Amino acid sequence: MIKRSSDEKADYAQWKEGLICRRLLGWLSDQYAIFRVLPDDIDEAMDFLDTPSSKGFVIHFHKTNYSRREVIHLFDYLKEQVLTLNYKTQISDLRTYNRPDWVETTERHYLKPRPNFIQGEKLKQAFGNVMIEVELRDDKVRNLRFRATSYKDHQFEDALDFKDLMTALLV
């Protein structure tokens, strides 16, 4: 499980009020707006996923000057924002793998909408299941991935629009 120390939590609270947080969220908001109109014109450090069942983005932080601290704070911020949407944390863990040329560490948050079992009604899936991952190579940030995966199933209502999830993330 991912556990943050009291010092890390205090640093995160300060980061949320700071300029770097506003810059990152503003940049992400701008890139999403560009992607929706001119997808070929987004920043090279950004990619968006848009398939019928999965929507999301990848930020290639190895192409930016953001620090590991700033990326981990963004990672936790995205989780915090999703939790405000009636989601619960299913998994929050850290895994390390020895690769031939580097050590890969992945921190991930996997969130699911809170269940709403009402007899005779379809299940609400909100935006689907949400996976947020940070990939590090030799303790240097490589990528941050955010993906919402919905179900196309007769038991579930259609997922809510991803643009509404992005709006909620970027407040």
pLDDT digits (tens, 9 = 90+) for 37-86: 999 999 999 999 999 999 999 999 999 999 999 999 999 999 999 999 99
Strand boundaries in the chain, DSSP class E: 46-50, 54-59, 87-98, 103-113, 129-137, 140-149
Q: Tell me which residue has tokens 């009020």.
A: 17
- Structure confidence by residue, pLDDT tens digits, 134-171: 999 999 999 999 999 998 888 888 999 999 999 999 98
The residues that bridge with 149 in the sheet, in sequence order, are 54, 129
Residue 99: phi and psi, rounded to 5, are -100, 165
